[in-house]
Structure 1
Amino acid sequence: MAAAALAPLLAAAPSPARARTAAPATEPVELAQKLIEPVHTTLKDWKAVAKVLGGPGDLKRKVMYHTGFPRRDLRLVSHQVHVKPSLALGSHVSFVRYSDRSTLLMGDVVVTEDELQDFVDALQRHRIGITALHKHLLAQRPDVWWLHVHKHGHDPLELARGIRAAFDETATPRPRSSDTATPDDLDTGAIDDAMGAKGSADDGIYKCIFVRKEKIVDGYMVLPPGLGSTSAFNFQPLGNGRAAVSADCCMVADEVQQVLRLLRKADVKLVELHNHGLRDKPRLFFVHFWAVGDAARLARALRPVVRATNVKPAG
């Protein structure tokens, strides 16, 4: 190409010096945005939200108002096991207040396939985001789906009314207090020793919960420990020391392949590998899995999975 023809192109292109000067203007604005921290609240602060949701919740770590909606209305079978609601059918939503007076709603909701589209439409009418749509179980009857929901706003009652309207498109029962009696047909001490954490009972299910050690950020918001970053190992007693395990392991990218290998080494059935959020940092991945067998043996086989991730007991 002739020099005369090149001249207009060269004139239009930024010089190296000009390009270096202009680069900072193209950097994401969020790099300069100050992170927003959650603030402590009390149950009294959430009384109006509880009224809208239709039942009681609890306060976790003084910052996260949590309400469970277990699908006690469903009679679900997976691999010949009648799945109790607290094993894998526990819808729940959480609210967190932030230092800028805003509120975050996050949740994980179980819907039947027949309810799915109407539930999604209701979420969208109320501008509640969907960040994941997936399954927790294999070979299930009836067919159910799990959705992760997310909205950041300034009026917690508006958030509560929106998610309540979506629940009203389903047969989800109103929340009520759970039975916390420890299952008497599981060796929970052996499970605790094997998992390296003290578990807790929830409506006949024994649960060992772990949270990520890192600070997890969603956009500009620092998430409280355990919100959207939990590994949960749930044991449903089947008699004679046996259990069905439905679990969810939280990982960063560098941990994923090792965890998958360890799960298969433990003869665990993999269900789904996916994300729960859209803007989390570090980026988190989750694997849902299923196993049936001697509860203590399964717990011992799963302990290497815990060790392979950067987590600590939630207690």
Structure 2
Amino acid sequence: MKVFALLAVSLFVSGTAMAQDNWRDAEDVFRTTGKMLDSKTVEFSIPRSDQTVMKGDTKLAPEFGLATHIKFTGTPEKAMMAADLVLLEKEVTPVVTQLQAQRLEITALHNHLFGTDPNVLFLHVSGSGTAKALATSLKAALSQTATPLGSAAAAKSTTVAAQWTTVQGVLGQKGEQKGDVFEVMVPRKDKVTEKGKAVPPFFGAAHHFFFQKAGDKVATTGEFVLLDKEVNQAIKVLNGGKFDITALHNHQLFDNPRLFYLHFWATDSPDAVARTLRRVLDMTAGGVSATTPSTTRGTPGTTTTPSGATGGTTTSPSSGTTTTPSTSTGSGRTTTTPSTGTGTGGTTTAPGTTTAPGTTTAPGTTTPPPSKGSTTTPSGTTLPGGTPPIPSATTPKR
């Protein structure tokens, strides 16, 4: 078994190294090492370490959402590129002019945060061709700025600070600590195309969160990648968690389905900010795949019942039986499907007895009481020990 394990690790490491070697031309242009996000997608991160950016009394680390990100997918000979350039106001026009000269597409220009000093803008760029040609064209545009090409992001820490362990536990996702910043990416599970070509989730359809210390609390910023019908649900959850909504926009011109990027800012305890972020993750199609103690998740296409309730005992519709909705979850999305009603905890309901307005249970249906120490939420999720629940959201019908 040890031999097979070592062989698997060896193949993974050699495969990663080989994939990284494939993008050597781009690395030479940017004078920095790329990071493989998946087998075909590489990312170059260039922090704006030349700038001191403040938001109120908080000094933002260059890795805290202030790095230019350049991604390539496909092959070095036939690559797609998506870049997110971090610019000062005075740099925007010279960069746009150079990008037009290099025949690269500008797809968006906007802020991600407000109230920063200096004001920072984000210019999104796309293109296709060889990785070397694309990188050379982009470098020509970046030469109009003070972006420190050749500088690397802070090294990944081998240990994770206690507050980031809390964040990982609540989100159910592992992240990376780089200097004073903790970063988490959660790819959506939808199939996304750009100009009719399928693109991997890490190319532009991944939720992206950053965390750093802010006094005795933590600050968080980042973006959720959402479908149109998810946008206002997410805003409601974030607003309820005392998050500032700082931007809402698109990044690409020809993505399908149309994706919206919702940016935010908040300062609170690690547990509090992570719980709010988790609530939004759980209501999107790109939710988390890992189950953490903070929530109970169902499997795709199954109906979830509270702990202590009689799972799978809903009765088939019969004459005079009125059905009530039960909640079904799958792939991070919650939908409402009808199922037949049951009686109240621990009682046998007599024929024709109404247990809720407009709800009639079938004769003889028995529902045992909830288990000791459990708390049942209105959404049907039971958390052990009375832990405050993470509510689920019902996807509206379109």
Q: CA deviation at 1:54?
A: 2.0
1:208 to 162, 181, 184: 184
Residue 282 (str. 1) matches residue 257 (str. 2): yes
Residue 152 (str. 1) matches residue 128 (str. 2): yes
* Aligned residue identity for 2:23: W
- 294-303 or 117-126: which moved more? 294-303
* Aligned residue identity for 1:117: T
**Counterpart residue number, 1:172:** 147
**Counterpart residue number, 2:230:** 255
* Aligned residue identity for 1:203: G
- 228-237 or 53-62: which moved more? 53-62
Distance 1:276 1:313 in 2: 23
Residue 71 (str. 1) matches residue 87 (str. 2): no
* Aligned residue identity for 1:213: K
Q: CA deviation at 1:314?
A: 9.5
Q: CA deviation at 1:305?
A: 0.9
In structure 2, the CA distance between the partners of 1:224 and 1:304, relative to structure 1 (3 Å rule), is same
**Counterpart residue number, 1:87:** 64
SS for the counterpart of 2:274 is helix
* Aligned residue identity for 2:122: W
Q: CA deviation at 1:302?
A: 2.1
Distance 1:113 1:212 in 2: 32
Q: CA deviation at 1:183?
A: 7.7
Distance 2:137 2:288 in 1: 33
Higher normalized contact order (CA 8 Å, seq sep 6+, divided by chain length): 1
Q: CA deviation at 1:79?
A: 2.6
SS for the counterpart of 2:220 is strand
Which protein is bigger by CA-based radius of gyration? 2
**Counterpart residue number, 1:43:** 20
Structure 1: which 5+ runs fail to align? 1-39
Is contact 2:41–2:202 with CA below 8 Å preserved after alignment?
no
1:190 to 166, 181, 185: 166
In structure 2, the CA distance between the partners of 1:147 and 1:197, relative to structure 1 (3 Å rule), is same
In structure 2, the CA distance between the partners of 1:232 and 1:152, relative to structure 1 (3 Å rule), is same
| 1:262-301 superposed matches below 5 A | 262-301=237-276
**Counterpart residue number, 1:229:** 205
Q: CA deviation at 1:238?
A: 2.3
Distance 2:285 2:38 in 1: 20
2:218 to 223, 226, 243: 243
Question: Taking every aligned residue pair, what percent have the same amino acid on both sides?
Answer: 29
In structure 2, the CA distance between the partners of 1:90 and 1:182, relative to structure 1 (3 Å rule), is farther
Q: CA deviation at 1:189?
A: 2.0
SS for the counterpart of 1:43 is helix
**Counterpart residue number, 2:300:** none
In structure 2, the CA distance between the partners of 1:182 and 1:292, relative to structure 1 (3 Å rule), is farther
Q: CA deviation at 1:77?
A: 0.6
SS for the counterpart of 2:277 is helix
Is contact 1:185–1:239 with CA below 8 Å preserved after alignment?
no
In structure 2, the CA distance between the partners of 1:281 and 1:172, relative to structure 1 (3 Å rule), is same
Distance 2:247 2:162 in 1: 27
2:279 to 301, 304, 308: 304
Instruction: Note the alpha carbon deviations across 1:250-289, whole angstroms, 9 max, x for none.
Output: 1001111100100100010010110011111111001101
Distance 2:175 2:133 in 1: 35
Q: CA deviation at 1:203?
A: 3.1
Distance 2:221 2:189 in 1: 23
SS for the counterpart of 1:87 is coil
* Aligned residue identity for 1:254: K
Q: CA deviation at 1:220?
A: 2.2
The TM-score, its normalising length taken from structure 1, stands at 0.82
The TM-score, its normalising length taken from structure 2, stands at 0.65
Is contact 2:81–2:126 with CA below 8 Å preserved after alignment?
yes
Q: CA deviation at 1:97?
A: 2.1
Alignment: residue pair count? 273
Where is the helix percentage greater, Structure 1 or Structure 2? 1
Is contact 2:167–2:271 with CA below 8 Å preserved after alignment?
yes
Instruction: Note the alpha carbon deviations across 1:107-141, whole angstroms, 9 max, x for none.
Output: 11100011111011111110111111111111111
- 265-274 or 88-97: which moved more? 88-97
Structure 2: which 5+ runs fail to align? 1-15, 291-398
- 278-287 or 198-207: which moved more? 198-207
Distance 1:84 1:277 in 2: 27
